Structures are given as structure tokens and as C-alpha cells.
């Protein structure tokens, strides 16, 4: 990869042929010419996956009812997980954008080993293209915070939606985020009509800081305003993911605040049930508690759905993705990780308490992962 005198990035033929899933048709055309580029795109997206061009491989597929979990091995030996969920209306794939995660949500195991590295656009695209099943929805909701890997996220969407290649409908793509403000504002300006889900999980800063520790630098009111602004600009219904934690975020004041923010807006609130993980010692709400909270919100005029948890049997549900292969196979984490975490921090997206190395971070997470009713 080089920059020419007009500051435009150019690639070599070798770079493209060794990892073609990471390039747009335009980039390939600039190097190989129109005819060759389209020929290569046909091989990548219109035929059965060809091992010659893959930089990730399927290590394992676990089946659990209507859910299947893929473990993909990356070139450097790390593993990521991708989940396919069969629904009445088709199959959804939930893709990962990072190995590990720097955000440290208290209920989620994906970040329990800290952040290892960002995925490349190619590694994201291959999670979709190499599946053994046909999907009609792509959700960026697996391991990692997609907006902290902004460039790979956007490029992978452009590649997957290209009419000359995989031709995936843009409005079948959802990005799920904890809402880093700088990137949310950038996303608003993209000419991409994707669906957006905000993982909110709280109605005040104190509770949100406990549930999503590394987002404490982003004011909750500003995050809500930014997603509503995205909704208006793109004329899209926004989904608010709200993990119900009894005694923590299901109080009358929470109902009132949700109503103040979202009543009369183009918003759907998805109430989620906590999926048991080793890292968070809290009881999941029962059906009665979920329904009671839903009713209270509906009485305020909000649109609410209870989202059924899927994939729990094979640890493929939300918050449960953490590749066992990384734990077993890798041992020490390379020092380059520190640089990646610093990069995230420099984007203004990670709280300034990001630890100096992953071991410290895991320790910090462990301490922070205790949340009780008394804390709030």
C-alpha cells in the first residue's frame, strides 16, 4: 500500500491477490483493470468460496437448535466467533469486528480477555461469505464494538453491498453500538442507509458508567441525541437495546426518562434478558418482570418488544461470545495490543482509564464487574 503524490492510497497486484476480500471493486479495477477485476469479483462472490483467496478458515461449527456458532481462525492464529440465527423470516448472521473488546460491558464475556486487535475489512467480509448458510440479515453485534473499528466496518459494508459482487441489501445491515459520540456523528454523515441499534441499558450516567465502564466519557444525553439525529437524517427507525437488570434499571424513574427521550420518536425499544456469563453475578429477570416493565413503557406510548434470547445452549447468545480457542491456544498477548488500545483512546472513544496492558485491563474489568443494587 502506497500513497501517490495526490495522497491517494494505491495497492499492488500482490496485495490484492493475496487478500482480495479486503478490497472494493473500484480498488481492484484501478490495479487489475475492469475486466480482470470483475472476473476476480465473480470468483469471490458468485461462486463457491475458493480456499486460494481465504485468509480465515472455519475451525469449528457448533449447532444448537436454530443457532449455529462458527469459530473462524485468523492468519495470526487468533479466533473469532460468528453466529447464525434462523428466524421465521430468514437467517441473521451476527459478525464480529474485533478479537476481544476494549469496552468492558459488565455483562459481557467478549471483553473479559481485554482487547486483542481490530479485524480487517477482509476478515469481516469473510465471516459472511464463507458461511454454509444463506443469510438475509447481517448484524454487526458479535465480538467487539464496531464503531471503534470504524474504517473496517464501513469498508466491509461497502464491499458486501456492491451490486457487482455479494450484492447484499443495505437496509438488511444493522450496526449495534454502545454509542461513541465521535463515530456516531461520523456515521450520521455517511451515505449509507443501514439500521442502527444503540445499546443503552441505563437512563442516567451513574448507572451507565457501571454497566458500560469505558463509555463514561460520553454523556448519555448526548449519545441519545446523536442516535435520534441519525434516525431523522436517514429516516430510519432506531432500536434501543435495553438489558433489563432488576433493581438496577427498572425503576419508575427509568420508565419516565425513557418516555421523555423516546415518546413520539421513530424508536423501538428492545428489552433484553441477561444471558448468564461467568463474569457477572446477577440474576436474569424472569418473564413476569420483563412483561411488567414492557407494559409500563407501553403505557407511556413507547413501542417495545421483548427480544427472545437465542443460542444460550452453545454460548452463542449476546454477551457470551468469547473464543475458547484464544484462551487455550494463545497464552500471552502480544505487546502490539497496547498500541491498538492507545489508538482507540486517541479517537476519543475509550475512557481515559484504559489500562496499560491487557492483563491490567482484565484485572480492572474483574473489579468493575461487580454491580449491585446498592451501587446505583
The verdict on 104 binding ligand SF4 (CB under 6 A) reads: yes
Q: Give the range of 11-19, 28-36, 102-110, 223-231 binding ligand SF4 by CB under 6 A.
A: 102-110
Q: Which residues pair with 228 in a beta bridge?
A: none
Q: Is there a catalytic annotation at residue 60?
A: no
- Within residues 165-184, the interface with ligand SF4 by CB under 6 A covers 178
What is the smallest separation between the CB atom of 68 and ligand SF4, expressed in angstroms?
Answer: 19
Measured CA distances, 119 to 14, 200, 259, 307, 316 (Å): 20, 24, 37, 28, 19
**How do beta strands 79-87 and 90-95 pair?**
antiparallel
Check binding of 317 to ligand SF4 (CB under 6 A): no
Binder of ligand SF4 out of 29, 54, 110, 122 (CB under 6 A) = 110
Torsions phi, psi of 10, nearest 5?
-125, 155
User: Which three-class secondary structure state does DSSP give residue 47?
Assistant: coil
Structure-block grid coordinates of residue 245: 437488570
Q: Which of 111, 121, 179, 213 binds ligand SF4 (CB under 6 A)?
A: 111
Q: Judged by CB under 6 A, does residue 153 bind ligand SF4?
A: no
Q: Does 187 bind ligand SF4 (CB under 6 A)?
A: no
Does 316 sit near ligand SF4 (CB under 6 A)? no
Q: Are 212 and 178 within 8 A, CB to CB? A: yes
- CA-based nearest residue to 93, from 44, 64, 128: 128
Nearer to ligand SF4, 41 or 148 (CB): 148
30 is catalytic: no
Least distance from ligand SF4 to the Cβ atom of residue 98, Å = 8
Output the CA–CA distances (angstroms, integers) from residue 8 to 5, 31, 54, 150, 223, in the order listed: 7, 13, 27, 19, 33
Alpha-carbon distance of 237 to 314, in angstroms, equals 31
Of 89, 182, 97, 85, which is closest to residue 141 (Cα–Cα)? 97
Q: Of the listed pieces 137-145, 184-192, 256-264, 354-362, which binds ligand SF4 according to CB under 6 A?
A: 137-145
Chosen residue from 37, 84, 85, 103 binding ligand SF4 by CB under 6 A: 103
Does position 145 interact with ligand SF4 (CB under 6 A)? The reply is: yes
Q: Which residues are catalytic?
A: 81, 318
What does the binding site for ligand SF4 look like in residue numbers (CB under 6 A)? 101, 103-105, 108, 110-111, 143-145, 178, 319
Amino acid at each position: 500500500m502506497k500513497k501517490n503524490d495526490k495522497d491517494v492510497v494505491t495497492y499492488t497486484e500482490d496485495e490484492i491477490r493475496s487478500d482480495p476480500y479486503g478490497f472494493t471493486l473500484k480498488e481492484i479495477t484501478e490495479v487489475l483493470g475492469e475486466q480482470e477485476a470483475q472476473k476476480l469479483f465473480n470468483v469471490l462472490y458468485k461462486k463457491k468460496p475458493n480456499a486460494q483467496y481465504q485468509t480465515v478458515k472455519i475451525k469449528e461449527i457448533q449447532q444448537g437448535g436454530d443457532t449455529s456458532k462458527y469459530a473462524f481462525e485468523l492468519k495470526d492464529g487468533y479466533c473469532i466467533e460468528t453466529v447464525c440465527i434462523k428466524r421465521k423470516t430468514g437467517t441473521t448472521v451476527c459478525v464480529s469486528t474485533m478479537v476481544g473488546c476494549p469496552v468492558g460491558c459488565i455483562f459481557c464475556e467478549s471483553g473479559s480477555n481485554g482487547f486483542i486487535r481490530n479485524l480487517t475489512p477482509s476478515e469481516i467480509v469473510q465471516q459472511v461469505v464463507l458461511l454454509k448458510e444463506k443469510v438475509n440479515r447481517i448484524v454487526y453485534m458479535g465480538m467487539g464494538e464496531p464503531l471503534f473499528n470504524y474504517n473496517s466496518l464501513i469498508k466491509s459494508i461497502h464491499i458486501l453491498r456492491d451490486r457487482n459482487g455479494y450484492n447484499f441489501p443495505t437496509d438488511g445491515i444493522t450496526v449495534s453500538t454502545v454509542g461513541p459520540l465521535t463515530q456516531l456523528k461520523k456515521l450520521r454523515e455517511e451515505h449509507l442507509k443501514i439500521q442502527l441499534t444503540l445499546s443503552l441499558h441505563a437512563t442516567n450516567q451513574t448507572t451507565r458508567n457501571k454497566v458500560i465502564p469505558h463509555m463514561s466519557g460520553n454523556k448519555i444525553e448526548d449519545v441519545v441525541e446523536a442516535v435520534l439525529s441519525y434516525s431523522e437524517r436517514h429516516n430510519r427507525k432506531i432500536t434501543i437495546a435495553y438489558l433489563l437488570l432488576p433493581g438496577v434499571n427498572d425503576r419508575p424513574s427509568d420508565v419516565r426518562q425513557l418516555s421523555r427521550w423516546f415518546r413520539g420518536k421513530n424508536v423501538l425499544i428492545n428489552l433484553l434478558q441477561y444471558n448468564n456469563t461467568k463474569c457477572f453475578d446477577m440474576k436474569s429477570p424472569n418473564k413476569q418482570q420483563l412483561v411488567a416493565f414492557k407494559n409500563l413503557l407501553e403505557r407511556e406510548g413507547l413501542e417495545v418488544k421483548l427480544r427472545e434470547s437465542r443460542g444460550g445452549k452453545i454460548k452463542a447468545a449476546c454477551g457470551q461470545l468469547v473464543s475458547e480457542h484464544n484462551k487455550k491456544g494463545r497464552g500471552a498477548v502480544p505487546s502490539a495490543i497496547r498500541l491498538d488500545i492507545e489508538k482507540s483512546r486517541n479517537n476519543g472513544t475509550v475512557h481515559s482509564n484504559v489500562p496499560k496492558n491487557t492483563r491490567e485491563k482484565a484485572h480492572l474489568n474483574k473489579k468493575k464487574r461487580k454491580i449491585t443494587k446498592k451501587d446505583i
